[in-house]
Amino acid sequence: MGRKIAIVTDGACSMTLEEAAKFGVYAAPIYVVFGEKTYRSGVDLQASEFYELQKSSKKLPSTAQTTANDFIELYTKIAEDADEIITITISSKLSATYQSAEMAQKMFTKIPVHTVDSGSASWGQALIAIAAARAANQGKEVDEIIHLIEVIKERMNVFFVLDTLEYLYRGGRIGGAAAFFGSALHIKPILYLKDGKIETYEKQRTRKRSIARILEILEEKAAGKTIHVAILHGNCPEEAAEIEEHVRKKYSCFDMMTVEIGPVIGVHAGPGTLGLAFYSLD
């Protein structure tokens, strides 16, 4: 028998505990703070509950990273059944969770731990963790799994359309001028993850055009390829279902899922966010 390798990620991946368990992935919590109350994303606060709170709360929610102790607590449980751990975190340019995981790796000595920066977030990060868990389940060695993670990182695409720039601005993720510009002209920017950071890809005049454009981007990057894709939404399931129908008809999908964007990304993106996370190994 080969060594049993466990795959760990953090709550920024947007997977619920049930989804993580289904794919054979362990998720350490990231925290969402509303005023005086702190929730563990995906544990005591699911995406649907989060968006209701976000609408009704006077205070802007914030996030707090996974701590080294959170990782160590999880590793201690995993070590009872596994020989080695690979941890895949949210991009180190978006959160200090990677630093927490590196600290935990140094402090935890029961079994070897390897920490990898996903360079991504939400279901971009989740798709990487799922691929790693699948490879571990197939009996791949640690080096092979880490190599696969690096290959997928290079090929991962995460594009999304925001309904409003308000939450990114209030969360300090973009400057005031850019937020004013978007609101004043009702511009619906397409954002994407580039080199581990959220950047503006382009600006469109309407939501309808922005959504059509991210489907064009998928076509440009994935035509004729077998894709692994997650359709992401922030409390707008009907629009996500329309995108799913389009993608299902048009592409050969190895993995395809329609999922809610979890609280950690939802804090900054806000309700009405729609997006795609996808890659191909062709």
Summarize pLDDT for 69-103 with one digit per residue, the tens: 999 999 999 999 999 999 999 999 888 899 999 99
Domains and their CATH numbers in the chain: 5-30+65-154 (3.40.50.10170), 157-279 (3.30.1180.10)
Q: According to the model, what pLDDT value does residue 231 have?
A: 96
pLDDT at 145: 97
Phi first, then psi, for residue 198 (nearest 5°) are -85, 120
Residue type for 277, please?
A: A
Q: What per-residue confidence (pLDDT) applies to 39?
A: 87
State pLDDT tens for residues 112-149. 999 999 999 899 999 999 999 999 999 999 999 999 99
pLDDT at site 136: 97
Which segments in the chain show pLDDT lower than 50?
A: none
What is the model's pLDDT at position 173?
Answer: 59
**pLDDT for res 58:** 78
Q: What is the pLDDT of residue 83?
A: 96
* Orientation of helix 122-137 relative to helix 142-155, angle to 10°: 150
